[in-house]
Amino acid sequence: MTANRAILNVAALAELVRSAQPPTLLDVRWTLAKDGRAAYTAGHLPGAVFADLDEDLCGPPGAGGRHPLPDPAALEDALRRLGVRAGHPVVVYDAGGANPTGAAARAWWTLRWAGIENVRVLDGGYQAWVESGQTVTTEVPDVDEGDITVRPGGMPVWTEVEASDPRNTLLDARISARYRGEIEPVDARAGHIPGAHNRPAAETVDEHGLLRPAEAPGHEVGAYCGSGVTAAQLVLQGAATALYVGSWSHWITDPSRPIATGEA
C-alpha cells in the first residue's frame, strides 16, 4: 500500500523542528465545545503557533453550515499572520487520540484547498508527541509575517447536488447513533443524507490515535459529517476524495431535502 504523504510521524517531525529551517507549525487543537487555546497556552510543540479553526480557517456559521469555506482573502490574511510562507512546508497537529476531532485534517484540507501543496499532519497529534518524550514549551514564538497567496480550488468540493446524487458514493463520518438519527446533540434535525454509508471517523485511527491505512477508492467518494470538520479525517486517510463542506448543518437548512434514519 502506498504511504500516505500527507502524514508525518513524530520522529521525522522532531528532526525537522531541530533543523536550521523548521516547518511552519500550526497547533489546531479544537473540540465542538471550545477551541484549544487554553491547551496551547499550557504546552505546545516548540515553534508552534495557535490557529483557531473557527476564526482563522473557516467562514462564519450561517446558511453555508457551521464551518463553511472561508473567504479566500480572509484566509490569506489569517495564514500570513500565522507565518505561512510561499514554498515553505507547513505541519499541522491537533490533540490526537483514538477519537479524532478532525481539526488537523480540516486544517490540512483547507490549506490544500487554498493551493498550498506542502502541508502535512503530525500522526497521532500532540498526544503522540508527548508520549514519545519530545520537548514541549509554553513559549509563544515571534512570528514573521507570511507571504502566502491563497488560490482556491486545490481540493475537490461537493455541494448538496453531488451529495444527493444516488450515483455517487457518500460517507457519513459521524458516530453511528447520530447517523441513525437516535441522537443529535448539535444540529436541529436528526438523521442522515439518504444513500450515505456510515464510516465513523474513529475508524480512521488505531487505539493509539495513529492513522490507519486505507485503500484509495477507484472513483470519487464524498465525505460529510456535522459541519465538515470530522469528515476531513476520511479525506486525509484516503477513504474519501471529496469533502461536502457544508455537511449535515447545511443539508438541514432546506426543509425540502429528504432525511433518512436507521441503518443504510
Q: Which residues carry out catalysis?
A: 225
Count CB-CB contacts under 10 A for residue 86: 9
* Residues 129-147: b if buried by 16+ CB within 10 A, e if exposed: bbeeebeeeeeeeeeeebe
Terminal C-alpha separation, the chain: 29
Instruction: For residues 52 and 50, give the distance between their C-alpha atoms in angstroms, rounded to a whole number.
Output: 6
The answer to whether the CB of 236 falls within 8 A of the CB of 8 is: no
The answer to whether the CB of 233 falls within 8 A of the CB of 165 is: no
